[in-house]
Amino acid sequence: MKVPFYQVDAFADSLFSGNPAAVCLLEAWPGTNRLQRIAAENNLSETAFVMPGKRGKWAIRWFTPKMEVDLCGHATLAAAHVLYEERGEHTEELIFTSRSGELKVSPLEGGVLGMDFPRVATRNATVSPLLLEGLGGYPSEVRAGVDCLCIFDTEEIVRELQPDFRLLARLPFRGIIATAPANSRKVDFVSRFFAPSAGIDEDPVTGSSHCILAPYWSRRLGKDRMEARQISVRGGRIVCEIRGDRVWLEGTAVTYLRGEAEIG
């Protein structure tokens, strides 16, 4: 069976930046094992599988090369970009149903898409020897939740981290976030994201991590709307805004590939 297939650079202003995501448009769900095998074949940090749902909504699932995840920002941005720019959707708001509840995406000016995501809580945590050895740096603060949030004093420290991914994969978290205040006055904070246990040593740009980062930096900086940069090799820009118990994320995307996938 052939299905429409796209590869999109998300949180990117131009090709070859941001985070590549695959988007497969389905009419019915194959088995989970088949979806996982497709994601492994794509070998991108995330593949989004999208199918029409009830009452005009869209069902979405996300897979890394190794596992299904509960929430993914850049692949949701890529899926919305495909529906609006490639498939001719004209609605003022797309609603995706997912493991993390309903996620809403709206087109803004200049090709920007705004995404309404859940706010993710963290708690104070101790610094473990395994975390220190795996990161290769000593954070000034550590917070734990679905991901481990590690706060450093400067952007330079975050940029220069050379993690031992084998060690980080042993930690009981989906991923490890390293973050610090930004050097530039135009950017509020920077981050990197490591998820070797999910098959992603370093994710280029991670929307879902900003559901943790935005609340932290909002409290620390005393502002609700912030500009963030993920300082991976490819890099990407995310605008974050706290809206009650939700986090609003803004970004752009660019289509790299259009075709069909043979999914059997």
CA 118 to chain centre: 13
Nearest to 96, CA basis, from 202, 182, 207: 207
* CA angle, residues 152, 155, 159, in degrees to nearest 5: 100
Catalytic residue status for 46: yes
Strand pairing report for 200-203 and 141-144: unpaired
Residue 29: φ, ψ to 5°? -80, 125
Residue reference for tokens 């999109």: 8
Phi-psi region of 101 (alpha: psi -120 to 50; beta: other; left: phi over 0): left
> Of these residues, 27, 41, 46, 241, which one is catalytic?
46
Question: What are the beta bridge partners of residue 255?
Answer: 8
Q: Could you give the CA distance from residue 250 to residue 156 in angstroms, rounded to a whole number?
A: 25
- φ and ψ at residue 257, rounded to 5 degrees: -145, 140
Question: Among 217, 222, 224, which residue's Cα sits nearest to residue 246?
Answer: 224
* Contact call for residues 118 and 98 (beta carbons, < 8 A): no
Name the residue type at position 120. Answer: V
- List 107's β-bridge partners, or say none: 113
Backbone phi and psi for residue 166, each to the nearest 5 degrees, phi listed first: -60, -40
Q: What residues are labeled active site?
A: 46
